[in-house]
Amino acid sequence: MQRDLSVLWHPCTQMKDHEHWPVIPIKQGQGVWLEDFDGHRYLDSISSWWVNLFGHNNPHINTAIKQQLDQLEHVLLAGFTHESVIRLSEHLVQLTPQGLEKCFYADNGSSAIEAALKMSFHYWQNCDQQQKNKFVCLSNSYHGETLGALSVGDVALYKQTYQPLLLETVTVTSPDCFNRESGESWEAYSLKQFTVMEKTLAEQAEQICAVIVEPLVQCAGSMRMYHPAYLSKLRQTCDRYNIHLIADEVAVGFGRTGTLFACEQAKITPDILCLSKGLTGGYLPLAAVLTTDTIYQAFYDDYTTLRAFLHSHSYTGNPLGCAAALATIDLFKNTDVIGKNRHLSQYLWQKAEPLQDHPHVAEVRQHGMIVAIEMVQNKANKTPYPWQERRGLTVYQHGLQNEMLLRPLGNVVYWMPPYIITEEQIDHLATVTIEGIHAATQAA
Ligand SMILES: *Cc1c(COP(=O)(O)O)cnc(C)c1O
């Protein structure tokens, strides 16, 4: 720990916090468990920041990476190609919503978003629509931390400081259902919110390249959720006004919301789909940006027309990452993961639901394998606890003392476990969570 703090600067961390709370060195991982050097273990209920799907040290993915390593560790993807990236692209085209035909690769979620934004903008340039230069995003959205991705996000904690550096974007009220009236359905509320989007697109269509959304769950935005009907409306309206729809499934892709891709629940195909996180089963940084043949063809021309998409990263399509992704897809194909998750989701709900009666819980919500519990100061009018009180930290600490890695987002405690979690482990998770929420909401 001392060696770490003398040379490392950790992500998303006020380093001074580590004067009070030690950083935890992990020695090994196995299944849902992470184990430190003192023999303490932690159930990874947040899938190591939402990336892990089939457990740590998964034998099938391990083998695939080792085999790839002995064959080819890396080759540039311009002018060259390799078997794993071709196979992965074939699978992704087949598995993702109908109409996505081409795969472009990046290294992580944020760089996938950057590629998607540039691709959409450049498409309109290539179509002689130079006036299209704006992006529309939802309030409370999150698309990553690089400057372009941050521009289309709306989580003040990450964005505010950098505002002067960012692109100008159009932010539209989110369909997130937290503030619906009691008795109002998710569907009715999300559809009501759509009127703002409809108006914005109608008025500014000429200038808009694309609308970018996180389908169904705004994960970094406190796991706020909405109804798929919003996405169906959005698809129709984008079509009507000649605007791209970019679906950022970096967090929700690969089964998180109960279907392989969240867009399936709205029966839509986006113009551009961004995937990362679960893509490699949580093993290696890799991202895919899928798009339609229409977009692809707008770039396809003689070199001297200078219409090509000259965007690149050194490690584009890295073979080890592709091998991990192929092994992850195998695991989906070999067992009925989605069907099994349906049962697990029901079990998660059964365990979380009683918290709805807790005097300091405003809402327990779920989309598939994501459950969120929102703690509030005042349940009746949903007044949040002041962020300075850091109530979530009490839950985090209580978790660590009880073999549990829980990492609340502010006042929102959530479960986003690897799909191999058992009912017994969910029981443990629920017990520690409930105790943690009691502890966090008791203190004055
Ligand atoms: C995590 C995340 C990103 C950014 O991915 P990184 O790999 O962390 O850069 C983008 N969009 C969404 C929806 C995410 O959850």
Measured torsion, CA atoms of residues 79, 80, 86, 88, in degrees rounded to the nearest 10: -100
- Which pLDDT belongs to residue 408? 98
Residues 123 and 211 both lie in one domain:
yes
Q: Are residues 192 and 289 in the same domain?
A: yes
* 41 and 157 part of one domain: no
Q: How far is CA 204 from CA 142, 184, 243, 402, in A?
A: 23, 30, 10, 52
- Are 360 and 303 members of one domain? no
Choosing from 110, 252, 274 the residue with most ligand 1 atoms within 8 A of its CB, the one to mutate for a pocket test is 110
- pLDDT score at 264: 98
pLDDT surpassing 80 at residue 13: yes
Q: Cβ(430)–Cβ(352) under 8 Å?
A: yes
Residue that terminates a domain, selected from 334, 364, 383: 334
DSSP 167: P
Residues 203 and 340 in one domain: no
- Say how many domains are in the chain: 2
Phi, psi of 200 (to 5 degrees): -60, -45
**Which residue type, as a one-letter code, is found at position 229?**
A
Cβ neighbourhood burial of 397 (10 Å; 0-12, 13-18, 19+) = middle
- Per-residue confidence at 384, pLDDT binned at 50, 70, 90? very high
Strands (DSSP E) found in 41-113: 41-44, 102-106
Mean of the per-residue pLDDT values of the chain: 97
Show which of 286, 304, 334 is a domain's final residue. Answer: 334
Shared domain check, 197 and 153: yes
256 in contact with ligand 1, CB cutoff 6 A: no
The mean per-residue pLDDT over the stretch 290-299 comes to 98
Range of the domain at 228: 63-334
20-47: per-residue pLDDT in tens?
999 999 999 999 999 999 999 999 999 9
- Are both 273 and 391 inside the same structural domain? no
49 φ, ψ (degrees, to nearest 5): 65, 40
Q: How much is the pTM?
A: 0.98
Name the band, by pLDDT with cuts 50, 70 and 90, for residue 110.
Answer: very high
Which CATH number fits the domain that encloses residue 186?
3.40.640.10
Closest CA to 57 of 406, 418, 350, 416: 418
pLDDT (tens digit per residue) in 45-91: 999 999 999 999 999 999 999 999 999 999 999 999 999 999 999 99
Please check whether residues 330 and 247 belong to one and the same domain.
yes
Query: Has residue 443 got a pLDDT over 70?
Result: no
- Assign 257 a pLDDT band (cuts: 50, 70, 90): very high
Name the strand (E) or helix (H) holding 210: strand 208-213
Please indicate whether residue 216, judged by its CB atom, sits closer than 6 Å to ligand 1: no
The residue whose two tokens read 């394998």 is 369
Last residue of a domain, one of 296, 312, 334: 334
Amino acid at 351: K
Residues 151, 233: Cα–Cα separation, whole Å: 24
d(CA 135, CA 81): 33
Atom of ligand 1 nearest to the CA of 285: 7
98 and 17 in a common domain: no
Choice from 111, 137, 143, 261 to test ligand 1 binding pocket (greatest atom count within 8 A of CB): 143
Q: Are residues 318 and 364 in the same domain?
A: no
CATH (domain of 358): 3.90.1150.10
Strand partners, 210: 135, 244
Whether residue 204 is predicted with pLDDT greater than 70 in this model: the reply is: yes
Whether the predicted pLDDT of 444 surpasses 80: no
Task: Write out pLDDT tens, residues 133-151.
Answer: 999 999 999 999 999 999 9
pLDDT digits (tens, 9 = 90+) for 315-336: 999 999 999 999 999 999 999 9
pLDDT band at 124 (very low <50, low <70, confident <90, very high): very high
Confidence of residue 206 (pLDDT cuts 50, 70, 90): very high
The DSSP element (H or E) to which 218 belongs, if any, is strand 217-218
Do 327 and 347 fall into the same domain?
A: no
How far is 43 from 252, CA to CA, in rounded Å? Answer: 21
Q: Are the C-beta atoms of residues 387 and 410 closer than 8 Å to each other?
A: yes
Whether residues 40 and 179 fall in one domain: no
